[in-house]
Amino acid sequence: MTGTLINAAAVFLGGILGVAFGTRFSERTRQTVLAGLGLFTAAIGVRMFLQTQKPLYPLGGLVLGILLGEALRIEEGLAQMGAWLEKRFARGSGGTASPFVRGFLTASLLFCVGPITILGSIQAGLTGDIQLLAIKSVLDGFAALALASALGIGVLFSIVVILVYQGGLTLLAAQAQALLTAPMTAEMTAVGGLLLIGIAVGSLLQLRPIRSGNMLPALAFAPLLVALVAWLSRLAG
Sign (positive or negative) of CA dihedral 148, 151, 153, 154: negative
Mean local confidence (pLDDT), 163-189: 88
The angle, 0 to 180 degrees and rounded to 10, between the axes of the packed helices 115-127 and 131-151 is 140
Residue 79 has pLDDT above 80, yes or no: no
pLDDT of residue 227: 95
The per-residue pLDDT for range 194-227, each reduced to its tens digit, is 988 988 888 778 888 888 888 989 989 999 999 9
Check: CB of residue 108 under 8 Å from CB of residue 161. yes
Question: Is a pLDDT exceeding 70 seen at residue 159?
Answer: yes
Q: Is residue 82 scored above 90 in pLDDT?
A: no
Q: CA 157 → CA 11, 66, 83, 97, 154, distances in Å?
A: 9, 34, 19, 16, 6
pLDDT at 85: 65
User: What is the pLDDT at residue 59?
Assistant: 96
Least confident stretch, 30-44, 82-96, 153-167: 82-96
pTM score: 0.77
Q: What is the pLDDT of residues 88-124, one digit of tens each?
A: 665 544 445 567 777 777 787 778 767 788 888 988 9
- pLDDT tens sequence across 122-151: 889 988 889 889 989 988 998 888 878 877
Q: Is 227 exposed, middle or buried (0-12, 13-18, 19+ CB in 10 A)?
A: middle
Q: What's the CA gap between 55 and 187, in Å, rounded? A: 8
